[in-house]
Amino acid sequence: MSDKIEIKHDNAPAGGWGSLKEVAQILKQEEAIAAVGKVLLHQNKTDGFACVSCAWAKPANPHPFEFCESGAKATAWELTGKTATPDFFAAHTLSELESWSDHALEETGRLTEPLRWDAATDKYLPVGWSEAFAGIGGRLRGMDAKNVVFYSSGRASLEASYMYQLLARLYGCNNLPDSSNMCHESTSVALPKTIGVPCGTVVLDDFDKTDCIFFFGQNVGVNSPRMLHQLQEARKRGVPIITFNPLRERGLVSFTNPQSPLEMLTGAETCISTQYYQLKAGGDTAAIMGLCKALLAADDAARASGLTSVLDHAFLAQHSAGFDTFAEAVRACGWPDIERESGLSRAELETAAAVYAGAKAVIGVYGMGLTQHRNGVQNVEMVSNLLLLRGNIGKPGAGICPVRGHSNVQGQRTVGITEKPELAPLDKLAAQYDFAPPREKGMNTVEACQGMLAGTVSAFIGLGGNFLRAVPETGLMEPAWRQVPLSVQIATKLNRSHLIHGKVAYLLPCLGRIEIDRQGGVEQAVSVEDSTGCMHGSRGRAEPASSSLLSEPAIIAGIAKALLPASPKLDWDAWVADYALIRDAIEATYPDIFGQFNARLWTPGGFRKPVPASERIWKTPNGKANFIAPEGLDANPDLTLSGEHTLRLFTVRSDGQFNTTIYSNDDRFRGVYGTRMVLFMCRSDMDRLGFGEGDLVTARTPSDDGVSRRVSGLRITEYSVPAGCIAGYFPECNPLIPLWHHAKESMVPAAKAIDVCLERDVAAATAAA
C-alpha cells in the first residue's frame, strides 16, 4: 500500500501486469504466500472452494486459474498469517482502537479466541465458548424476541443461513435483515412484479449466445472480474456492449487478461464497451425511457411502411400485460425531459436503441448503480420493460442479469433469510419442527437502524458483516448502537462494529470458508448459490487460523442450544456433526429447489434452482410478464436541493476494498494512491466552483431535519464524470446519507444519489501545509 498520496491520470487497461503486481503485493502484506499459493488452484473449482469475494457464476469447465485479482486478494485477506490474539486485545482499550482506520483494524489479522467486553478495563477479554453461549442465551431468554435483530452479511453458507433463520424463528421473530437490504433488495422487489422471480434469468451459457449486452451501473472490472472472461469472449464474437455509467470505469473500457500469457506479452487488450454513455447519476429511468421511446417510434415507422416490426408483438400479445399503459407513458414523455434527467442526448439514445433493435438476443446486466436510488425499484422495472419489448427474457442468449454482491447473498434469501414472512415457507417450517413460527413482519436493515435510534432494539446478533460501517447515518447510528443492551458479533476479523458495541458485548471468531472445517475429525463441506441461481459445494483447503475457532454452524447451534428448549424434532448437535444432515433438512423444506441436494452438491457448474421466467412461465399474480410504467423520471423526487454548490454524490468501491474491508488505500483503476478521502469531479465543475486539483473540502448534506451530516478532508480529484455529479468512496462517505434517504418499496439506502454542498476545508488545508 502506498503511504504517499499520489494521483495518476494514466489510462492502462484493467487486468494486465498491474493485476499480477497487486496480487503479489497483498500476498506479501498478508504474510500469506505459502498458504494462499497452495489453495488458489482450488478456487471456484467443482471440488474446491467457492471464492469469498463476489457471487459471479462458476463455470462447469473452469480455467486452470479460475480466480481474479479481487478473488486472490480476498483469499489472501482470509488466509493472512497475522492474528489478533488475546495479547493484542490486552494491550488496547476499545476506546483507543476506535481511532484506528478500517484498514488498520482488519490488518491486525484473524480473530483467534472468543472474547467478551469487560466494562472495568474497556477491553475484550477471553471467554470460554460454553460460557459465552450460556451468557448470550441467558440474556436473550430475558428479552422479547420482537426486539432482537439477527443480521447477516451475505457470505455465510446455505447451511449456516438456514440454521440462522430457524434460530430466529424458533426464538420468535422474523427480524432477519441482511446485506441484501442495502444491495439488491430493489431487484427482489421489482422482478417478482414484472417477471415473477426475485433473481436473474441468465446462465453463463447465455453469454455464448447473446448478440448484445446492455450494462447499467455495475463495475465489472473490480467487483466481478471473472465475468470479464464472458465479456471478452463476447467481444471477440463482435457482440456490442453498451454501457451506462456516470463514471468512466477503466474495467468497463478495456481489459488485458492477466491469465493469458499471449495477451500479457503482446499487451493486447480487449475493448469492453463499444458504446459508453456517461449519464447523470440517477438518470437511468430517463435514459431507458429514451431507449423505449426510440424503439416505439421505430416500430411505428416500420409498421407504417409495411416493414418487419421492431417490437416482438407476438411475444407481447402472448406473454405480457400492461404494454399499452406503458407505451402511452413513453409516448407522453418528452425528449427534453428525457435529455435533462438522463444527461444524454436524443441522438445518443437513438443510436443505442438502434443497436438494441438490431440484436436477436439481448442481456441486460446491472448493479448498484441502479438499485441504490430512491427510485431503485423503478430502475430495475425499467430494465425489465426494455427487455420485454423484444421478448428478451426467457430465450437463449437473452435475459436480465442482476450481478449479486456477496458470495452467497442470493442463497441466503433462498433458504429463508428474510424479514418478510410471506417469503419464508412458514407452514413448512411449522410442520417440520413442530412450532408456531412468528407471522409478523420483521425489521429490515433500515428498520433495525430506526429501532436502534428509537431505543427499542434490545440485542443485535451479527452473522458476519460490519453493520455499523455499511449503514447510512453514521453520526446518529454510532451513539445509538452504544445503548443497545447486547451485541454479539460472529466474525473473522476485527472491524468498527465490534468496537462501538452494546452494553454487553461478545465477539465470536469463526472459521472462514477457505479453511478446513473438521467436525469430530471429519472434513465438512458447505454450499453457496451464485448470481445465476446455481448451487455449488465448497470445501475448505487451508488449515484454520486458530484451533479455538468454531464454524458458523457450530456457533449458531451453540447459541440455539443455550437459548431454546430442547425439541425432539431438531438435533443441533447432529447437524453440526454432519452438515449433510443440514442439507437434508433444507431439502425437506424446499424440495423443489434442493431435491437430491447431497447427491447433486458437486455438480460441475452447480445445479440450478428453478427460475420459471427463464422458461417464459410467469409466476406473477396475473400469470403474465408485466410492463410497469414509471411514476416519473426524477431520481430524487423528494429532495429539492438546488443552488450552484449542490452536487449529486454517488458512492463507489475501489479495487483496494471489499465493502468495508479496506485492503489498501490505493485504487489502481482510478489512479488514486495513498488515500481514499477523495471526491472525483469533472474539470468544468472544478472551474465553475473554483476548486483546483488536490483542494481539501468538507461535504455537507443540506436538509431541514436538524441533523448535521458532514465529512471533512476530502480531496478534489479531476475525473471523467458528468457535470453536477461527483463520486466518493463507500464507506467513508456514509455519514452523509440520511437514514430516510432510501428507495421506495425496497428501502435500500440511496447511496448513489446524495445531494451535497462543498465548502473549502480551511483547517485541513492549513494542517496539510
Ligand X SMILES: Nc1nc2c(c(=O)[nH]1)N[C@H]1C(S)=C(S)[C@@H](COP(=O)(O)OP(=O)(O)OC[C@H]3O[C@@H](n4cnc5c(=O)[nH]c(N)nc54)[C@H](O)[C@@H]3O)O[C@H]1N2
In whole angstroms, how close is the CB of 245 to ligand X at the nearest point?
5
> Smallest distance, Å, CB 179 to Mo ion?
5
Cα angle 216-217-223, degrees, rounded to a multiple of 5: 120
Residue 296 touches which member of Mo ion, ligand X, none, C-beta under 5-8 Å by kind: none
- Closest contact distance (angstroms) between CB of 111 and ligand X is 8
User: Quick one: 187 or 458, whose CB is closer to Mo ion?
Assistant: 187
Backbone angles phi and psi of 248, in degrees to 5: -80, 95
Residue 79 binds ligand X (CB under 6 A): no
Residue among 148, 137, 202 nearest 172 (CA): 148
Selected range binding Mo ion among 39-47, 403-411, 468-476, 704-712, rule: CB under 5 A: 403-411
Among the candidate windows 557-565, 615-623, 652-660, 691-699, which touches ligand X by CB under 6 A?
652-660
Question: Site residues for ligand X, window 397-436 (CB under 6 A)?
Answer: 405-406
By CB under 6 A, is residue 513 in contact with ligand X? Answer: yes
Q: What's the Cα-to-Cα distance from 500 to each of 175, 391, 486, 505, rounded to whole Å?
A: 21, 51, 12, 10
Partner in contact with 16, chosen from ligand X, Mo ion, none, beta carbon below 5 to 8 Å by kind:
none
Q: Which is nearer to ligand X, 232 or 371 (CB)?
A: 371
Q: What share of the chain is helix, strand, coil (3-state, %, to 5)?
A: 40, 20, 40
Among 343, 391, 411, 464, binds ligand X (CB under 6 A): 464
As a whole number of angstroms, the distance between CA 384 and CA 463 comes to 33
Choose between 391 and 512: whose C-beta lies nearer to ligand X. Answer: 512
Among Mo ion, ligand X, none, what does residue 661 contact (CB within 5–8 Å per kind)?
ligand X
Q: How big is the site for ligand X, counted in residues (CB under 6 A)?
A: 61
Options 42-50, 136-144, 166-174, 240-248: segment touching ligand X (CB under 6 A):
240-248
User: Among residues 109, 405, 558, 735, which is the contact residue for Mo ion, using CB under 5 A?
Assistant: 405
In this structure, what C-alpha cell is assigned to residue 15? 487486468
Closer CB to ligand X, 106 or 299, in the complex: 106
Question: All 3 cell numbers of residue 550?
Answer: 468454531
Residue 658 interacting entry, from ligand X, Mo ion, none, C-beta within 5 to 8 Å by type: ligand X
In this structure, how many other beta carbons lie within 10 angstroms of the beta carbon of residue 250? 24
Among 249, 515, 517, 666, binds ligand X (CB under 6 A): 249
Contact 362, 398 (CB under 8 A): yes
- Residue 273 burial (C-beta neighbours within 10 Å; 0-12, 13-18, 19+): buried
85-114 binders of ligand X (CB under 6 A): 106
Cell numbers representing residue 175 in the block: 427480524
Q: Find the shortest distance in angstroms from Cβ 493 to Mo ion.
A: 18
Out of 150, 162, 216, 607, name the contact with ligand X by CB under 6 A: 216
Which single residue is written with the C-alpha cell 446455505?
158
Closest CA to 50 of 25, 75, 21: 75
* Chain residues 533-592 in contact with ligand X, contact rule CB under 6 A: 552
Choosing from 171, 255, 315, 467, the residue that interacts with ligand X (CB under 6 A) is 467
Interface positions, 313-372, toward ligand X (CB under 6 A): 367-369, 372
Comparison of 385 and 408: residue with beta carbon closer to Mo ion? 408
Using alpha carbons only, give the angle 764, 698, 690 rounded to the nearest 5 degrees. 90
Q: Are the C-beta atoms of residues 667 and 405 closer than 8 Å to each other?
A: no
Give which of ligand X, Mo ion, none residue 153 binds (C-beta under 5 to 8 Å, depending on kind): ligand X
Q: Which of 651, 664, 698, 701 binds ligand X (CB under 6 A)?
A: 651
Contact status, residue 633 vs residue 338, Cβ threshold 8 Å: yes
Please state, in angstroms and as integers, the Cα–Cα distance from residue 211 to each residue in 233, 278, 290, 357, 659, following that order. 12, 23, 21, 11, 33
AA identity, residue 629: A
> Per CB under 6 A, which of residues 115..154 are in contact with ligand X?
153
Phi, psi of 721, rounded to the nearest 5 degrees: -130, 160
Sequence-distant (≥ 6) Cβ neighbours of residue 386 within 8 angstroms: 214, 288, 291, 292, 356, 364
Q: Which of 44, 112, 175, 245 binds ligand X (CB under 6 A)?
A: 245
Q: Which of 87-95, 245-253, 330-338, 411-419 is the region at the interface with ligand X (rule: CB under 6 A)?
A: 245-253
DSSP string of 698-737, one letter each residue: EEE---SSS---EEEEEEEEE-S--TTEEEEETTTTGGGS
Nearer to ligand X, 319 or 742 (CB): 742
**Residue 524 sits in the site that holds ligand X (CB under 6 A):** no
Name the one range near Mo ion by CB under 5 A: 8-16, 180-188, 200-208, 600-608: 180-188
Cβ proximity to ligand X: between 513 and 744 the closer is: 513
Question: Considering the complex, what minimum distance in angstroms separates the CB of residue 5 from ligand X?
Answer: 22
Binding of Mo ion by 74 (CB under 5 A): no
Identified binder of ligand X from the candidate list 140, 203, 222, 298, rule CB under 6 A:
222
Q: Are 263 and 69 in contact (CB under 8 A)?
A: no
The answer to whether 218 contacts ligand X (rule: CB under 6 A) is yes
Q: Which of 510, 535, 696, 739 binds ligand X (CB under 6 A)?
A: 510
Q: How far is it, in rounded angstroms, from Cα 471 to Cα 153?
A: 12
Of 383 and 486, which has the nearer Cβ to ligand X? 383
In this structure, are residues 540 and 516 in contact, taking their beta carbons and an 8 Å threshold? Answer: yes
DSSP-derived secondary structure letter, 49:
B
With CB under 5 to 8 Å by kind, the binding choice for 145 among ligand X, Mo ion, none is none
Burial of 126 (0-12, 13-18, 19+ CB in 10 A): middle
User: Which residues touch 149 (CB under 8 Å, ≥6 apart)?
Assistant: 175, 177, 443, 448, 451, 457, 459, 460, 461
| 19, 43, 44, 70: residue in contact with ligand X (rule CB under 6 A) | 70
Q: What are phi and psi of 321, to 5 degrees?
A: -135, 155
- 287 vs 629 by CB, closer to ligand X: 287
- The interface partner of residue 510, options being Mo ion, ligand X, none and the CB cut-off 5 to 8 Å by kind, is ligand X
**How far apart are CB 30 and ligand X at their closest, in Å?**
14
State which residue, 54 or 570, has the beta carbon closest to Mo ion.
Answer: 54
Asked if 182 touches ligand X (CB under 6 A), the answer is yes
Q: x/- binding map, residues 40-69, to ligand X, per CB under 6 A? A: -------------xx---------------
* End-to-end alpha carbon distance in the chain: 23
407 binds, among Mo ion, ligand X, none (CB under 5 to 8 A by kind): none
Does residue 183 interact with Mo ion by CB under 5 A? yes
In angstroms, what is the minimal distance from the CB of 567 to ligand X?
Answer: 25
SS3 6: strand
- Shortest separation between residue 491's beta carbon and ligand X, angstroms: 4
Shortest spacing between CB 652 and ligand X, in angstroms = 4
* Helices and strands in the chain: count of H runs, count of E runs: 34, 32
Q: For residue 380, how far is the Cα from the chain centroid?
A: 15
Q: How far is the CB of 511 from ligand X (least distance, A)?
A: 8
Report the partner that residue 376 touches, choosing among ligand X, Mo ion, none (CB closer than 5 to 8 A by kind). Answer: none
DSSP three-state, residue 400: strand
CB contact at 8 A, 231 and 213: yes
Antiparallel, parallel or unpaired: β 522-529 and 534-539:
antiparallel
User: Which residues lie near ligand X (CB under 6 A)?
Assistant: 53-54, 70, 106, 153, 155, 179, 182-183, 216-219, 222-224, 244-247, 249, 281-282, 284, 367-369, 372, 405-406, 463-467, 470, 490-493, 495, 510, 512-513, 552, 650-653, 657-661, 730-731, 733-734, 737, 751-752
Task: Give me the residues that bind Mo ion (CB under 5 A), please.
Answer: 183, 405
